[in-house]
Amino acid sequence: MPTQLDKLINTVCARIIAAEPELTQLDSEIGDADHGVNMKRGFEAILVDSSSLAAQPLPDALKAAGMTLVMKVGGASGPLYGTLFMTLGKELPPEPSHDDVVRAFAAAIDAVKARGKSDFGAKTMLDVLGPVLAAISRPGATFDAVRAAAAASAEETIPMLATKGRASFLGERSIGHMDPGARSSQILITAVCDALEGTS
Ligand code: ADP
Ligand code: MG
C-alpha cells in the first residue's frame, strides 16, 4: 500500500514533469525558455528517490527534496523552490495540524521573499503563494477554495508588470503573459490538494 507521503511525492512530480512544455512556453514569452526543463530536471531527481523519501518523516523528506531542488533545478527558481521546501521541512512537525500548516507556509513564504529579495506584486511565484496562504488561513478552508485561489492568482499575474527576475528586463513587454513560476506554483499547490484529497 503506498503511503500518503508516497502518493503526494508521486503526484507532485508527475504533474510538474507533465507540465514541462507549458512552463517552457510561458518562459519563452517573458524569460529564457528554461523553466519547464529546470523544473522537470528537479522533480525527476525527486521521483528517482521517492521511495526513500516517502520512508522518512515528513520534515526530513521536505528538507531532502528542497536540497535536491536547489542542486538540480538551477536558474532563479531552484534556490527559491528549494528554500520553500526546506523551510517547510524545518517548520512542520511530522503530523501537522491545520495551524501548523498555516504557520509553516507563512514562514516558507517569508524565506522565499528573503532569498529572492522580492515581495508580492513583482509578478513571480510569490503572487500565487501569497493568495494560497490567505486561502489556507481562512477558517473552514477547503481544497476547492485553495485550488481556486491558486488558479485565480496565476491568471492575475497576466496583467502585472514584472519587477523581479528575468522577466523584469522586458519592462512593459512583460505585461500580458502569465508568469511561469506563478503557473508552476499553481500546478504544485493543485497537485498537493489533489493528492491529500485523494482525487489525483
Ligand atoms: P531563470 O529566470 O533564472 O531562467 P526559471 O526560468 O527557472 O529561472 O524561473 C523563473 C521564475 O522564477 C519566474 O517566473 C518567477 O516566478 C521566479 N522568480 C525569479 N526571480 C524571482 C525572485 N527574485 N523572487 C521570487 N520569484 C522569482
Ligand atoms: Mg528561465
**pLDDT tens, position by position, for the chain (200 residues)?**
568 999 999 999 999 999 999 999 999 999 999 999 999 999 999 999 999 999 999 999 999 999 999 999 999 999 999 999 999 999 999 999 999 999 999 999 999 999 999 999 999 999 999 999 999 999 999 999 999 999 999 999 999 999 999 999 999 999 999 999 999 999 999 999 999 998 65
C-alpha cell at 175: 505585461
Q: Please, which residues have CB within 8 angstroms of residue 179's CB and are 6 or more apart in sequence?
A: 26, 30, 123, 124, 125, 127, 154, 157, 160, 162, 167
**Ligand 1 mutation target, pool 16, 20, 30, 35, most atoms within 8 A of CB:** 35
Q: Which H or E run includes 138?
A: none
Ligand 1 center to 162 CA (angstroms) = 10
CA distance 9 to 60: 13
How far away, in angstroms, is 17 Cα from ligand 2 center?
16
Residue 200 is predicted with a pLDDT of 57
Q: Cell digits for 169? A: 528586463
The number of angstroms, rounded, from the C-alpha of 145 to the middle of its chain's C-alpha atoms is: 17
Protein residues with CB under 6 Å of any ligand 1 atom: 27, 31-32, 34-35, 38, 75-77, 80, 116, 118, 124-126, 164-166, 179-182
* Measured CA angle at 118 (ends 67, 87), to 5 deg: 30
3-state helix, strand and coil shares in percent for the chain, rounded to the nearest 5: 75, 0, 25
Return the ligand 1 atom nearest residue 117 CA. Answer: 23
Q: Quick one: which ligand is closest to 80's CA?
A: 1
Closest protein CA for atom 6 of ligand 1: 35
CATH number for the domain that contains residue 42:
1.25.40.340
Q: How far apart are CA 17 and CA 37, in angstroms?
A: 9
Closest to 186 in 3D by CA, of 23, 6, 4, 65: 23
- Amino acid identity of residue 44, one-letter, is E
Residue whose CA is at the smallest distance from ligand 1 atom 14: 181
Say how many Å lie between the CA of residue 8 and the centre of ligand 2.
Answer: 26
CA of 107 to the centre of ligand 2 (A): 25
Asked if 62 contacts 84 with a C-beta cutoff of 8 angstroms, the reply is no
1's CB contacts (< 8 A; 6+ apart) are none
* CA distances for 66 relative to 92, 93, 173, 189, angstroms: 14, 16, 32, 15
Number of separate domains in the chain: 1
Write out the residue range of the structural domain in which residue 15 sits.
4-197
User: Atom 21 in ligand 1: which residue has the minimum CA distance?
Assistant: 165
